[in-house]
Amino acid sequence: MTSRFSQGDLPDLGSALELFEQEQAKLADFQQKLAETSTVVDSRNRMLTVTLDGSGELSDLKFNTTAYRTMAPAELSALILETLRKARSQSFQTMQELMGGGPLQGLDIEEIATGQADLAAVLGKVMGPSLEAVQEAGGIGAPKRTDDTDDDGWER
């Protein structure tokens, strides 16, 4: 039996797979760096210290003095929230820096973490290089457009 494809007609999916594996390795490296990262922020009056892990979650809240005992509940609450927000902002900035030129370049980590990012756009940016390599190799056609004016490139 003969194949209907000659060797030159087959798409070079090996190169596309190699590119995908490289991007996957970059993501794994990013995750490892996040796991090793923490953000530590003191309140403006240094009364408390907030520590966030690499994913921006609260891992420690330490009172450095006993001054909180004389504060009004609303004042203490406001100080904790202010310090936590400052720590979250710094944590997101650190995440953004860790991304560097990797597969997540150009994505706003804070928007993703707070649910403000368009997940279809995020997925398109993450998968884009691999899909383009497969398209160039002749493995798949260009994404079909729909009548939707805010087309994200995905066929529905």
Helix or strand or coil: residue 61? strand
| Global confidence as pTM | 0.59
Question: Domains in the chain, ordered, with CATH?
Answer: 34-99 (3.30.1310.10), 101-137 (no CATH)
Stronger pLDDT, 152 or 53, i.e. the higher one: 53
The end-to-end CA distance of the chain, in Å, is 38
Q: Quick: pLDDT tens for 93-150.
A: 888 888 775 555 667 777 776 777 777 777 777 677 666 766 666 655 555 555 556 6
Q: Residue 84 to residues 44, 92, 97: CA-CA distances in angstroms? A: 11, 12, 20
Quickly count: other Cβ atoms within 10 Å of residue 133's Cβ. 19
Q: Quick: pLDDT tens for 17-27.
A: 787 788 788 77
The C-alpha atoms of residue 57 and residue 51 are separated, in whole angstroms, by: 8
Q: Which two tokens stand for residue 73?
A: 């509940």
